[in-house]
Chain A
Amino acid sequence: MAITSPDSAISGGFGTSNRDLIARRLAARHRSERMFRAVGLGAILLGISLVGILFGSILSKGIPAFTQATFHLDVAFDPEVLRIPERPQKAADQSVAEFNQELLSWQRRLRTANWNRLIQEAIAAKIPAAADNARDAIGLVASNERVKLWEMVEDNPAIMGTTQPVSLIASANVDVWLKGNIDRTLEQRYQQLSALQQQWSDALYEEGVISMDFSTVLFTNVDSRSSPATAGLLGAIVGSVMMMAIVMVVAVPIGVMAAIYLEEFAPKNRLTDFIEVNINNLAAVPSIVFGLLGAAVFINFLGLPLSAPLVGGLVLSLMTLPTVIIASRASLRAVPPSIRQAALGVGASPTQAMFHHTLPLAVPGMLTGAIIGVAQALGETAPLLLIGMNAFVASVPSTPLDQSSALPVQIYLWQGNELRNFFEARTSAAIIVLLAVMISLNALAIVLRHRFERRW
């Protein structure tokens, strides 16, 4: 080595030359130190800016979708137009079956009445030209919104012949036009709204007949193809909540029990080593494989229904199990062995030492692991596609055996919807809802962790 070589000793004394040698290399050493720090800082900045871009684009796209073009019209429930008979009353000599039949036929009559005409007239009250252009006028309002009118009559037949203020969601095309999500300079043949509709929409918006209201339908409606403006997330949210509940009920207790047994009671031998390796491997298995397993076992073998939250929940439980086991074992292992020894030392049985001392100390860690696992399951899409949860389901599941959608799958479906300029924002809004649920789950994990830790 140069430092101890006789040359350096000859050329001007050991101390000085060593100092020079070190000083000469010092600049390079400092430079590499600075470079390393700069690279690390750069990596963090890059990460933060990428996350910022992601959130920025999702928020900027998604937030406008939380408001939606809504008509505020005075609808005259004109008996001449609707021609609906009186709501049947149960006569004294009538059997229940007969009455119900009569009621059903009345409801059917209600449904087929000319509600479009009412909407057209209500719009014509603001824009007289609409009286002669039924197609254009009706096309302004989301097609499902007629339902609102007949439900009003069904609930309260007395409103026949009166004029009522009603809020109706505008069609998706009007929303897109007013929000500027379509290029207004495009030639008319590429436009989704007719020239008249464009003109009317702008006029009505200016008058305040159409306003941008908070989109409650996003949370109260299910998915819809025929009437995209009223498509909502309710079915997907309920489906996801059911699946999360199933994951919590199935994966968390099984995972914690498995972790306790493996960590505290199982003998250390080849078999338990093998099990441990496989649990770690399972955590790395691509989630779509769990979907295949679920399709084979739960649907083909056990005959459970397709698209059901129960099956989805069980598949996600399988996927979450390794995460829960690994996190629980790690937090059990983090409990100082001296506590266990102390308990055994005063004569506690191994089970008592476990449940009285080790487990309570490990609970915060286990809880964090479990909630992170559940949050992961909430965002998982791939396995759900394989068990049929990507079907178009326009209903809210009332039991875990009903057909249902799920939040991430709904995002996937909306992302592929052909009405791009409307659903792009809708998709981002759905992503915001999903992220909000996840962030609140993680916040819950932190709160619970603090609460449990403070007890000691």
Chain B
Amino acid sequence: MSATALAEAPHETRYETIRIADPSPRETKISAQDVHVYYGAKEALHHVSIDIPAKSVTAFIGPSGCGKSTFLRCFNRMNDTIDGCRVVGRLDMDGEDLNDHRQDVVLLRARVGMVFQKPNPFPKSIYDNIAYGPRIHGVARSKSDLDAIVEHSLTRAGLWQEVKDRLQEPGTGLSGGQQQRLCIARAIAVSPEVILMDEPCSALDPIATARVEELIRELRENYTIIIVTHSMSQAQRVSDRTAYFHLGYLVEEGPTESIFNDPQEKRTKDYITGVFG
């Protein structure tokens, strides 16, 4: 079915997502159940249901405007900050509904960190960039605690060796790739359970991209990572599972290997082989 045919399809039609189970099933960290997202009257995301496995990397792929970033922002309620955006459905993390209006978003965002498309360090020192989260959440009891958190986070982000002698210099003075790793370190500093990454490498050159990808693979040991990417090869390199979105529908999801080697849906196949997208 072509893209236009899908767009013209009657609204009531429910496209069932094709799901391929993991050969070695993991524990589920977040379970989205029948999530719809509306921008005003327009429905941008239709009945998406997916289980995100813990301590692994899940990639969301799909053409521009397919709703993958919108879906990503549901996990830390960043959609709340967009005027007219409404999220319906359940998003269970450890049995708690993230989308419940009683859910405290400040606490949620401490548990679910985010790395944005463009590196966005605060216009402050490298140290303060990392220390900001722990400070506002009050997790560091003393200056030495805070120092330890900063060192640990920068080490995890593979940046410590490069910046340890200039922690007081502005974070905005680093190169693009370093800035993005700084942003990852900043997210790690509040010890989240989940890290969301919205096209984290789209503004970086290939070498910086390689460093960040390496970092993502390392972080998988301890964190649940969800990454939105435009690069099919990146999804293949870093992710364990891949979900393909198309025009607001979750078309297919499964182990990365099977999605790329043996797509079940024609649309998925067209996209990953470059027929459209």
Taking CB atoms, residues of chain B closer than 8 Å to A340 are 81
Shortest Cβ gap from A50 to chain B (Å):
42
Shortest Cβ gap from B58 to chain A (Å):
19
CA gap between A339 and B108 in the complex, in Å: 19
Residue contact A347 to B190, C-beta cutoff 8 Å: yes
Residue contact B121 to A342, C-beta cutoff 8 Å: yes
CA gap between A344 and B133 in the complex, in Å: 10
Q: Which secondary structure dominates chain A's binding surface? A: helix
Q: With an 8 A cutoff between CB atoms, is A302 at the interface?
A: no
Given contacts A338-B116, A338-B118, contact A345 B78 (CB under 8 A): yes
Residue contact B109 to A347, C-beta cutoff 8 Å: yes
Residue contact A341 to B116, C-beta cutoff 8 Å: yes
Chain A minimum-CB-distance residue to B170: A456
Taking CB atoms, residues of chain B closer than 8 Å to A356 are 132, 136
Q: Interface 1/0s, chain A 342-363, versus B by CB < 8 A?
A: 1111111100100011000100
Out of B106, B108, B120, B190, name the residue touching A342 (CB < 8 Å).
B120
Taking CB atoms, residues of chain A closer than 8 Å to B272 are none
Given contacts A268-B83, A339-B123, A356-B132, contact A345 B118 (CB under 8 A): no
CA gap between A357 and B172 in the complex, in Å: 14
Residue contact B123 to A361, C-beta cutoff 8 Å: yes
Shortest Cβ gap from A115 to chain B (Å):
68
Taking CB atoms, residues of chain B closer than 8 Å to A346 are 109-110, 113, 132-133, 136, 186-187, 189-190
Taking CB atoms, residues of chain B closer than 8 Å to A339 are 120, 122-123
Residue contact A345 to B114, C-beta cutoff 8 Å: yes
Given contacts A348-B136, A356-B132, contact A343 B78 (CB under 8 A): no
Q: With an 8 A cutoff between CB atoms, is B207 at the interface?
A: no
Shortest Cβ gap from A455 to chain B (Å):
9
Taking CB atoms, residues of chain A closer than 8 Å to B114 are 341, 345
Residue contact B122 to A342, C-beta cutoff 8 Å: yes
Residue contact A338 to B120, C-beta cutoff 8 Å: yes
CA gap between A361 and B172 in the complex, in Å: 14
Shortest Cβ gap from A9 to chain B (Å):
40
Q: Interface 1/0s, chain B 155-192, versus A by CB < 8 A?
A: 00000000000000010100000000001001101100
CA gap between A336 and B118 in the complex, in Å: 11
Q: With an 8 A cutoff between CB atoms, is B107 at the interface?
A: yes
CA gap between A345 and B172 in the complex, in Å: 18
CA gap between A205 and B76 in the complex, in Å: 86
What is the total number of residues of chain A having a CB less than 8 Å from a CB of chain B?
19
Taking CB atoms, residues of chain A closer than 8 Å to B121 are 342
Residue contact A345 to B123, C-beta cutoff 8 Å: no
Residue contact A349 to B122, C-beta cutoff 8 Å: no
Taking CB atoms, residues of chain A closer than 8 Å to B118 are 338
Residue contact A456 to B187, C-beta cutoff 8 Å: no
Taking CB atoms, residues of chain A closer than 8 Å to B136 are 346-348, 352, 356
Interface size class of B (residues with CB under 8 A): 20 to 34
Q: With an 8 A cutoff between CB atoms, is B29 at the interface?
A: no
Q: Interface 1/0s, chain B 114-135, versus A by CB < 8 A?
A: 1010101111100000001100
Q: Which of B88-115 contact A (CB under 8 A)?
A: 106-110, 113-114
Residue contact A341 to B133, C-beta cutoff 8 Å: no
Q: Interface 1/0s, chain A 320-347, versus B by CB < 8 A?
A: 0000000000000000101111111111
Residue contact B116 to A344, C-beta cutoff 8 Å: no
Residue contact B109 to A344, C-beta cutoff 8 Å: yes
Residue contact B122 to A347, C-beta cutoff 8 Å: no
Q: With an 8 A cutoff between CB atoms, is B266 at the interface?
A: no
Q: Interface 1/0s, chain B 178-222, versus A by CB < 8 A?
A: 000001001101100000000000000000000000000000000
Shortest Cβ gap from A340 to chain B (Å):
8
CA gap between A341 and B122 in the complex, in Å: 10
CA gap between A263 and B229 in the complex, in Å: 32
Residue contact A345 to B187, C-beta cutoff 8 Å: yes
Taking CB atoms, residues of chain B closer than 8 Å to A268 are 83
Taking CB atoms, residues of chain B closer than 8 Å to A456 are 123-124, 170, 172
CA gap between A157 and B172 in the complex, in Å: 73
Taking CB atoms, residues of chain A closer than 8 Å to B107 are 347
CA gap between A341 and B119 in the complex, in Å: 11
Chain A minimum-CB-distance residue to B114: A345
Q: Which of A16-42 contact B (CB under 8 A)?
A: none
Residue contact B113 to A345, C-beta cutoff 8 Å: yes
Given contacts A341-B81, A346-B186, A347-B110, contact A357 B122 (CB under 8 A): yes
Q: With an 8 A cutoff between CB atoms, is B137 at the interface?
A: yes
Residue contact B113 to A341, C-beta cutoff 8 Å: no
Residue contact A342 to B109, C-beta cutoff 8 Å: no
Greatest chain A CB density within 10 A among B78, B109, B110 is at B109
Given contacts A347-B137, A349-B106, contact A342 B183 (CB under 8 A): yes
Taking CB atoms, residues of chain B closer than 8 Å to A361 are 123
| A and B contact pairs by CB, cutoff 8 A, 29 listed | A338-B116, A338-B120, A339-B123, A341-B81, A342-B183, A343-B122, A344-B78, A344-B81, A345-B76, A345-B78, A345-B109, A345-B113, A345-B114, A345-B116, A345-B187, A346-B109, A346-B136, A346-B186, A346-B190, A347-B107, A347-B108, A347-B133, A347-B190, A348-B106, A348-B136, A349-B106, A361-B123, A456-B123, A456-B170
Closest 10 CB pairs of A and B: A338-B120, A347-B109, A346-B133, A347-B110, A345-B114, A456-B123, A342-B120, A347-B106, A268-B83, A349-B106
Given contacts A338-B120, A361-B123, A456-B123, 19 further A-B contacts (CB under 8 A): A268-B83, A338-B116, A340-B81, A341-B78, A341-B114, A341-B116, A343-B132, A344-B78, A344-B109, A345-B187, A346-B113, A346-B133, A346-B186, A346-B189, A347-B107, A347-B133, A347-B137, A357-B122, A456-B124
